[in-house]
Structure 1
Amino acid sequence: MDIYVSNLSPFITNEDLKNHFSKYGTVTSANIIMDKFTNRSRGFGFVTIPDDTEAEKAIKELDGSLIDGKTISANKAKPREDKPARSSYNNRW
């Protein structure tokens, strides 16, 4: 299961996030989303724990917990919505 984690400190690394969640199960990936222009953390990321029971426990235990002095939010990740392609030409008229 993919877990959406928000309100992360800009100083948290992928490894920090993985270590924090690995107390609750096997973490196969932990990825903090970075701004493509500034290369700084956008303050959220995703953690993957394949076992749904372990993932649910991690969400329950870590939602509202402190990491690096910030209260994080942890929820089951929702699928990304398909957005229609933006065309600046069509939007002008």
Structure 2
Amino acid sequence: SANKAETPRSSRVETPRRRSCHRFGIFVCNLPWQVDDSWLEELFSEHGDVFDARVVYERRGGTWRSRGFGFVTMATEEETYDAVYALNKQ
């Protein structure tokens, strides 16, 4: 019965939900002011699956303005490195 208790646990490790916990983040800086979350996601999706893409905003004078940087979260380490290599300094 010890083997039966261990089998479901080890099979759960392989489920997509479990794998999705291991995502890889990229800090993206020097963004033009007009770049928003959807633009950032579209750009990085050319290099793999994007789980999240967010531009950081701050409130100034009653309006929200981009701070010129953001974060993108990719599905795999390989996609993360591919995106960084392709988009670095662009």
Determine the structure 2 residue equivalent to 1:43: 68
Q: Whose Rg is larger?
A: 2
| 2:50 is the counterpart of 1:32 | no
RMSD: 0.9
| 2:43 is the counterpart of 1:20 | yes
CA distance, structure 1, for counterparts of residue 33 and residue 40 of structure 2: 12
TM value normalised by structure 2: 0.69
Percent identity reads 35
| 2:81 is the counterpart of 1:53 | no
Q: Unpaired runs of 5+ in structure 1? A: 66-93
User: What do residues 23-80 of structure 1 show as CA deviations (whole Å, max 9, x unaligned)?
Assistant: 0000011000001344100000000002000111100110011xxxxxxxxxxxxxxx
Structure possessing the higher relative contact order (Cα contacts under 8 Å, 6 or more residues apart): 1
Alpha-carbon distance, 1:20 to partner: 0.3
TM value normalised by structure 1: 0.67
Q: Unpaired runs of 5+ in structure 2? A: 1-23
Higher helix share: 2
